């Protein structure tokens, strides 16, 4: 059913529980729809005028339908009590402790996601709206000693795999929605409020690409818009033995030209940045392009990235 529904890959610890409820409800829906549908069609055919000149004033006399209704009600009750409410209370709104998690602040604005890491000291520096400027979109107060090692990025969220992630969401201007479909995370970001959301990624970006890879038919000028197919799972060689495309390379126009020249019409590829933050709440004219990239890394890679970025962002 999950495949049939076309749910995207799920790379978080709690995602299966959400998917499970989606799948169960869709089974219920399918059952009801098919059941009713069969009855419906059968009735229409059997009681058409040409076959049934005279109607029966009363019609159905059995009470089966009442039992059916009760059964649906019971089933819905079970869904609620057995799945939906527990998942909400044990997963969605049961937060890990801060010691037990990587804490990140995300500040939404029209039309970008500002990410704020506390740096090595693990303490967030002060932010002040009066300091907000072009190159300090967070309004981070660099004179605050604990802010010195803080790291800020725009539209780029790096996270370690298999660790609880606790995100504090705020918005500078209007309501946005922090949605990461591949993690089954979505949380409205409401100005004037700090709302937390948490999850635990279970796959790194590399693993995700690995499992998402599929064959794409290529043709000239047909690279999917805004998304570069990359990371061919195996390299592609030209007839003279030179490498056209190596694992991890982008499939560019150029490459496609070369491949086509070599008579290759399909590549095995996956999206370069499969994991993304999609703003899910209308937030103005740039709502459609309020996209952030999420990179899930191994713990070591993540530490490395932090260290490098900290250097790079030295003020």
Determine the Cα–Cα distance for residues 59 and 40; give it in Å rounded to an integer: 14
Whole-angstrom distance, CA of residue 84 vs CA of residue 89: 9
Which pairs count as long-range contacts for 171-176, CB under 8 Å and 24+ apart, including other chains? 171/107, 171/108, 171/109, 172/107, 172/108, 172/109, 172/129, 172/132, 173/109, 173/110, 173/283, 174/110, 174/283, 174/284, 175/281, 175/283, 176/108, 176/279, 176/281, 176/283, 176/290
Distance in Å, CB of 67 to other proteins, minimum? 11
Does residue 18 belong to the site contacting ligand CUA (CB under 6 A)? no
Map residues 275-294 to x or -, x wherever contact with ligand CUA holds by CB under 6 A.
Answer: ----x-xxx---x--x----
* Minimum separation from the CB atom of position 248 to other proteins (A): 16
Q: Does 174 bind other proteins (CB under 8 A)?
A: yes
Ranges of beta strands (E only) in 120-194 are: 151-154, 156-160, 164-171, 176-180, 185-189
Q: By rule CB under 8 A, what count of residues binds other proteins?
A: 103
67 binds, among other proteins, ligand CUA, ligand HEA, none (CB under 5 to 8 A by kind): none
Query: What minimum distance in Å lies between the beta carbon of 303 and other proteins?
Result: 26
Minimum CB distance to other proteins, residue 152 (Å): 15
| Of 250, 247, 263, 258, residue with least CA distance to 223 | 250
Query: How far apart are CB 114 and ligand CUA at their closest, in Å?
Result: 12
Which residue do the tokens 């049934």 mark?
Answer: 52
Quick one: what does residue 130 bind among ligand HEA, other proteins, ligand CUA, none, with the CB cut-off 5 to 8 Å set by partner type? other proteins
The interface partner of residue 271, options being other proteins, ligand CUA, ligand HEA, none and the CB cut-off 5 to 8 Å by kind, is other proteins
Which structure tokens are listed for 312?
């790079």
Residue 223 in the binding site for ligand CUA (CB under 6 A): no
CA pair distance 140, 105, nearest whole angstrom: 12
State in angstroms the smallest separation of the CB of 288 from ligand CUA.
8
* Contact set for other proteins, span 178-197 (CB under 8 A): 179, 181-182, 184-188, 190-193, 195-196
Residues lying near ligand CUA in the complex (CB under 6 A): 111, 176, 279, 281-283, 287, 290
């Amino acid at each position: 059913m999950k495949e049939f529904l076309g749910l995207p890959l799920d790379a978080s610890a709690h995602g299966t529980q959400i998917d499970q409820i989606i799948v169960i409800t869709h089974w219920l829906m399918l059952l009801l729809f098919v059941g009713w549908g069969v009855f419906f069609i059968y009735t229409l055919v059997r009681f058409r005028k040409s076959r049934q000149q005279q109607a029966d004033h009363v019609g159905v006399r059995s009470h089966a339908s009442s039992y059916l209704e009760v059964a649906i009600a019971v089933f819905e009750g079970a869904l609620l009590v057995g799945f939906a409410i527990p998942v909400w209370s044990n997963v969605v709104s049961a937060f890990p402790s801060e010691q037990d998690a990587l804490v990140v602040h995300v500040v939404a604005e029209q039309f970008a996601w500002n990410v704020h890491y506390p740096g090595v000291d693990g303490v967030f520096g002060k932010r002040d709206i009066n300091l907000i400027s072009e190159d300090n979109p967070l309004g981070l107060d660099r004179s605050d000693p604990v802010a010195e090692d803080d790291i800020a990025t725009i539209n780029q969220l790096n996270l370690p795999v298999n660790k609880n992630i606790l995100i504090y969401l705020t918005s500078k201007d209007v309501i946005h929605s922090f949605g990461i479909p591949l993690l089954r995370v979505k949380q409205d970001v409401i100005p004037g409020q700090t709302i937390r959301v948490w999850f635990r990624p279970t796959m790194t970006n590399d693993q995700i690409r690995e499992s998402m890879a599929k064959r794409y038919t290529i043709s000239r000028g047909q690279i999917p818009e805004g998304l570069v197919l990359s990371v061919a799972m195996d390299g592609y060689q030209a007839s003279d033995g030179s490498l056209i495309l190596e694992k991890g390379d982008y499939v560019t126009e150029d490459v496609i030209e070369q491949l086509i020249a070599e008579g290759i019409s399909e590549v095995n590829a996956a999206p370069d940045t499969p994991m993304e933050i999609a703003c899910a709440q209308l937030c103005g004219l740039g709502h459609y392009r309020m996209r952030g990239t999420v990179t899930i890394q191994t713990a070591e890679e993540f530490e490395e990235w932090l260290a490098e970025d900290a250097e790079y962002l030295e003020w």
